Amino acid sequence: MPKKRPEIEIYSHGLYEPWDRKSKELPRLKAITTQIPVEPDVEFGYVLKIKKAKGARLTFTIFHPPFLNDAGETAPPFEGSEVVGSNDWSFFLGDTVWPPYEDKAGAWELVTWLDGKEIARKQFELFIR
């Protein structure tokens, strides 16, 4: 029997309520936008709905403007991976900002792959008010 092709949808993107990363609940959407103000407790990103892909490997990269990490070096892109947990799965990929805020302004690009194939890409412009 041929393997079923996964169904993938960018369900929402933009500005979200602050996310409790320990909770199973995804953050609540505040506004669909790619223009994100740099301010405390801002949360931005996208939610993917993935069907028929249980057990597949999801990898992601968050490209960001150059800023220094705790070691005083330019921080590399953020990378990670997850295993799709069910055949009807939702996944939030996003980030927030932290002091100093000024160096977080600029283009942030979020990219997700499923078993090595790109399935989502969204660019956000973070700006200082």
Q: What pLDDT tens digit does each residue of the chain (129 aa) get?
A: 556 799 999 999 999 999 887 888 999 999 999 999 999 989 999 999 999 999 999 999 999 999 999 899 999 999 999 999 999 999 999 999 999 999 999 999 999 999 999 999 999 999 998
| pLDDT value of residue 2 | 56
Report the C-alpha gap between 41 and 24 in whole angstroms.
19
Q: For residues 4 and 24, is the Cβ–Cβ distance under 8 A?
A: no
| pLDDT value of residue 73 | 94
Give one DSSP letter per residue of 21-64, joined into a string: TTSSSPPPEEE--SEEE--TT-EEEEEEEEES-TTPEEEEEEE-
| pLDDT value of residue 23 | 82
| pLDDT value of residue 118 | 97
Whether this prediction's pTM lies above 0.95 is answered by no
79 vs 5, 62, 94, 109, 111, CA distance in Å? 25, 6, 12, 12, 10
